[in-house]
Chains A and B, each alone.
Chain A
Amino acid sequence: MSTTTLPTERAAEPARRRPRIAERLLMSEYLVLALTVLYVLILWPIVPSIATRATMLDVLAAMMPLLVVAIGQTFVLIVAGIDLSAPSILATASVVGASMMTDDGGFALASGIPILAGIVAFVAVGLLIGLFNGLCTTRLGMPAFIVTLTTMMFFSGFALFYTAALTDDGSSFGDLPASFVAIGQGTVAGVPYSLGVAAVVMGVAHLVLSRTVFGRWLYAIGRNPRAAAISGVPVRRAVTWAFVISGLCAAIASVLYTGRLETGTPVLGQRILLDIVGSAVIGGVSLFGGTGKVTQTLYGVLFLSVVDKGLQLLGLDLASVFAIKGLVILLAAVLDALRRRLILRA
Chain B
Amino acid sequence: MNDTEAQPAFFAAEGLCKSFFGVQVLHDMTFSLHPGQVLGLVGENGSGKSTTMNIMGGVLPMDAGRMTLDGADYRPRGPRDAESRGIAFIHQELNLFRNLTVAENLFIAGFPKLARGLPFIDRAKVRVRTQELLSSVDLDVAPNTPVSRLSQGERQLVEIAKALGSNARIIIFDEPTTSLTTREIERLFDIIGRLRRQGIAIIYISHILGDVLRLCDDIVVLRDGHRVGRAPRAEMTVERMISLMVGRTIDQIYPPRDPPMSPGAPVLEVRGLSQRGIVKNIGFDLRAGEVLGLSGLMGAGRSELARILFGMDPHETGQVRVGSTAMTTLSPANCMAHGMAFLTEDRRAEGLMMEASIADNVALASLPQFGRTWMRLIDRTRLGDEVARVSASVQIKAPDLQRTLVKNLSGGNQQKAVIGKWLLHKPSVFILDEPTRGIDVGAKYEVYKIVNRLAAEGAGVLFISSEIEELTGMCDRILVMAHGEIRAEFARAAFDREAILRAAMWHGIKEVA
Contact = CB atoms under 8 A, between A and B. Distances in A.
Given A1-B50, A216-B363, A220-B353, A230 B60 contact: no
A214 B310 CA distance: 23
B45 to A, nearest CB: 8
B14 interface: no
A343 B356 CA distance: 11
Given A231-B332, A232-B333, A343 B355 contact: yes
B46 A1 contact: yes
Interface stretch (A221-229, A272-280, A297-305, A308-316): A221-229
A219 B356 contact: yes
Interface in B309-367: 310, 312, 332-333, 336-337, 342, 344-346, 348-356, 360, 363-365, 367
Contacts of B437: 2
Given A3-B50, A216-B363, A10 B350 contact: no
Interface in B37-93: 45-46, 48, 50-51, 54, 59-61
Contact of A227 (B59, B351, B375): B351
A230 B51 contact: no
A98 interface: no
B25 interface: yes
B438 interface: yes
Contacts of A207: 375, 377
Contact of B350 (A3, A219, A226, A234): A226
Interface string B473-513: 00000000000000000000000000000000000000000
Contact of A229 (B45, B332, B378): B332
Contacts of A220: 353, 356, 360, 364
Contacts of B368: 213
A108 interface: no
A342 B353 CA distance: 17
Interface string B403-440: 00001000000000000010000000000000001100
A76 B220 CA distance: 55
Contact of A216 (B61, B336, B348, B378): B378
A230 B61 contact: no
Given A6-B54, A227-B352, A290-B355, A213 B378 contact: yes
Contact of B364 (A6, A228, A291): A228
A220 to B, nearest CB: 6
Interface in A7-56: 7, 9-10
Q: Which one of B61, B310, B348, B437 has the greatest number of beta carbons of chain A within 10 Å?
A: B348
A147 interface: no
A63 B193 CA distance: 76
A211 B356 contact: no
A208 B378 CA distance: 10
A217 to B, nearest CB: 7
B371 A223 contact: no
B377 A232 contact: no
A5 B349 CA distance: 9
B370 interface: yes
Given A217-B367, A219-B356, A232-B332, A212 B60 contact: no
A135 interface: no
Contacts of B214: none
Nearest to A215: B378
Given A3-B59, A9-B20, A220-B364, A230 B371 contact: no
A7 B54 CA distance: 11
B342 A230 contact: yes
B113 interface: no
A288 B433 CA distance: 29
B453 interface: no
Contacts of B59: 3, 6-7
Contacts of A233: 333, 364
Contacts of A229: 312, 332
A227 B371 contact: no
Contacts of B389: none
Given A212-B378, A213-B371, A216-B363, A230 B333 contact: no
Given A213-B367, A213-B368, A213-B370, A227 B54 contact: no
Contacts of A10: 60-61
B376 interface: yes
Interface in B5-36: 20, 25
B378 A232 contact: no
Contacts of A5: 348
Q: Which one of A207, A208, A214 has the greatest number of beta carbons of chain B within 10 Å?
A: A214
A226 B349 contact: yes
Contacts of B333: 232-234
Interface string A265-277: 0000000000000
B79 to A, nearest CB: 10
Nearest to B466: A1
Contacts of A231: 332, 364-365, 421
B54 A3 contact: yes
A6 B61 CA distance: 10
Contacts of B354: 223-224
A291 B353 CA distance: 12
Contacts of A343: 355
Nearest to A13: B61
A227 B355 contact: no
A233 B59 CA distance: 36
B242 to A, nearest CB: 21
A219 B363 CA distance: 13
Interface in B281-326: 310, 312
B375 A230 contact: no
A1 B51 contact: yes
A230 B346 CA distance: 12
Contacts of B337: 232
B349 A223 contact: no
A234 B333 CA distance: 7
A10 B20 CA distance: 10
A233 B333 CA distance: 7
A104 B437 CA distance: 70
Q: Which one of B59, B60, B350 has the greatest number of beta carbons of chain A within 10 Å?
A: B350
B319 to A, nearest CB: 22
A228 B361 CA distance: 10
Given A1-B51, A2-B438, A219-B356, A212 B351 contact: no
A291 B356 CA distance: 10
Closest 8 A/B residue pairs (Cβ): A223-B353, A231-B365, A213-B376, A232-B336, A213-B371, A232-B333, A213-B367, A231-B364
22 contacts: A1-B45, A1-B50, A6-B54, A6-B59, A10-B60, A211-B378, A213-B376, A213-B378, A216-B378, A220-B360, A223-B355, A223-B356, A227-B349, A227-B351, A227-B352, A229-B332, A230-B350, A231-B332, A231-B364, A231-B365, A232-B332, A232-B337
Interface of A: 1-3, 5-7, 9-10, 207-208, 211-214, 216-217, 219-220, 223-224, 226-234, 290-291, 343, 346
Given A7-B59, A290-B353, 9 more contacts: A1-B48, A212-B377, A216-B363, A216-B367, A220-B360, A220-B364, A224-B349, A232-B336, A232-B337
